[in-house]
Amino acid sequence: MAGVKGSQKGVIKMEYRVLGKTGLKVSVVGFGGIPIAKVSEDEAVEVVRRAMDLGINLFHTSPTYGDSATKIGRAIRDRREECILNVKIFGVSRERTQKGLESALKMLQTDRIEIVQFRITPEQFEQGLGKEGGLNVLLKAQEEGIIEHIGITDHDPNFVAEAIKTGYFSNVVVPFNYVYNEAREKLIPLALELGVGVAAMKPLGRGALTNVAEALNYIWEHGASTAIVGMKSIREVEENASIGSKVQPLTPKQKRRLKSLAETLLRKYKIKSGALIPIDERA
C-alpha cells in the first residue's frame, strides 16, 4: 500500500504483518471500536475513514459495544474491500451466538466477516464447544462463507493458551501490555508454535500508559501481529498510525525503563482484565 500524507510532516506508510495461519495481512495498529460509541455518528465515520486513509485495515467491534458496529458499518460501506473486520461474539449458547452474528452482520451492513472472535470464559468453555454451544454456529457460518476465520478471546491468557490446543482457533485477542504481560509466559510462545495469530487488546492499559510509542513497540517486539488501540478522534488515529509506520526494536535502555515503570505503576494501579485501574488509597 502506498504511503499517505498525515497531518504531521512526512508520509505515513503503515506496517503490516500476517496474522498467523489466517494468512491475513493486518495493520500493526488495529482500530478498537469501543470509544466511538461515545461520539456522534458523523464524527465516528470521519474517524474510521481517516484510519483507513492512513492504512489501518483491522477493525475490532462487537454488537455489544453500543452502536460502534453501526458506525463502522456506515463508514466502511463504500470501502469494504479495504477492511478486515474482527468481531467479538459471545459463544456460550447456539441462540446467543446466532443472535450476535445476525446483529453484527446487520449493524455492519455486510454479508461477511473476516474474523469472528469466540468470546467465552473458562467456566463456559465446555458448554460453548458442546452440541448446543455457540461454536457450532460459527463453524456452520464458516462453511457457508459468512465468516472466514474463527478466533477466541478472553481476559485470561493462560485459559486461551489451553483453548488453542483444541485446533479450532486460528487467532486470539488477549490483553497484553508492558505492565500486564502474562501472555508472554505461555500463550504467545505456544501461539507462535501453532501458527495462531496474536492480537493484543488493552495495549495502553485502557489509557493509563501514556508512553504510546514504547508501549506499542513492546507489544510488536513480543510476538503480537497487531495492537488493537481504542480510538475516537482523528488526532488519536493520526498519532497511532504514525507510530505504526515506524516500528522499531526497543533499545536496552528503553527495556530497562519500561521494567522500572511497570514496577512503579503496579504500586499505583491494580490490574483488571489487562486494564490499569487506580488504587483507591482511601480503601
pLDDT tens readout for residues 71-129: 999 999 999 999 999 999 999 999 999 999 999 999 999 999 999 999 999 999 999 99
Dump pLDDT digits (tens) for 233-253: 999 999 999 999 999 999 999
The reported pLDDT for the residue numbered 21 is: 97
In a domain, residue 137? The reply is: yes
Between CA 31 and CA 33, with CA 224 as vertex, the angle to 5 degrees is 15
* Cα–Cα distance list, 267 to 34, 58, 213, 264 (Å): 28, 34, 23, 5
Residue from 16, 17, 33, 65 nearest 229 by CA: 33
- Total domains in the chain come to 1
Exposure of 122 in the CB half-sphere (CA atoms within 13 A): 8
Distance between CA atoms of residues 255 and 105, nearest Å: 42
Contact in structure between 266 and 179 (CB atoms under 8 Å): yes
In a domain, residue 283? The reply is: no
Residue from 159, 160, 141 nearest 151 by CA: 160
In a domain, residue 189? The reply is: yes
| Average of per-residue pLDDT across 161-187 | 98
Q: How far is CA 139 from the centre of its chain?
A: 21
In a domain, residue 227? The reply is: yes
Query: Which three three-digit cell numbers place residue 256?
Result: 530497562
Dump pLDDT digits (tens) for 199-222: 999 999 999 999 999 999 999 999
CATH number, domain with residue 208: 3.20.20.100
The reported pLDDT for the residue numbered 162 is: 98
The reported pLDDT for the residue numbered 12 is: 75
Contact in structure between 174 and 183 (CB atoms under 8 Å): yes
- State yes or no: pLDDT of 3 exceeds 90: no
Position 281 confidence tier, pLDDT thresholds 50, 70, 90: very low
Contact in structure between 112 and 101 (CB atoms under 8 Å): no
- Kindly report which listed range (20-29, 167-176, 243-252, 272-281) carries the lowest average pLDDT score: 272-281
Number of helices (H) and strands (E), helices first, in the chain? 10, 14
The reported pLDDT for the residue numbered 168 is: 98
The reported pLDDT for the residue numbered 171 is: 98
Could you give the residue ranges of the DSSP H alpha helices within 93-197? 94-108, 125-129, 135-143, 157-163, 187-194
Q: Which domain holds residue 231?
A: 4-278
The reported pLDDT for the residue numbered 1 is: 42
Between CA 61 and CA 191, with CA 245 as vertex, the angle to 5 degrees is 55
Contact in structure between 77 and 59 (CB atoms under 8 Å): no
Q: What percent of the chain has pLDDT over 70?
A: 95
Average pLDDT score over the chain: 95
The reported pLDDT for the residue numbered 11 is: 57
- State yes or no: pLDDT of 279 exceeds 50: yes
* Cα–Cα distance list, 187 to 20, 175, 194 (Å): 14, 11, 10
Q: Backbone phi, then psi, for 83, in 5-degree steps?
A: -115, 145
In the chain the first and final C-alpha atoms are separated, in Å, by: 52
Distance between CA atoms of residues 85 and 69, nearest Å: 10
Position 283 confidence tier, pLDDT thresholds 50, 70, 90: very low
- State yes or no: pLDDT of 166 exceeds 70: yes
| Average of per-residue pLDDT across 37-41 | 98
| Average of per-residue pLDDT across 183-188 | 98
The reported pLDDT for the residue numbered 280 is: 77
The secondary structure of residue 283, as a DSSP letter, is -
CA 168, 189, 186, 207 torsion-angle sign:
negative
Q: Where is pLDDT greater, at 10 or 187?
A: 187
In a domain, residue 223? The reply is: yes
The reported pLDDT for the residue numbered 133 is: 97
Position 8 confidence tier, pLDDT thresholds 50, 70, 90: very low
The reported pLDDT for the residue numbered 5 is: 44
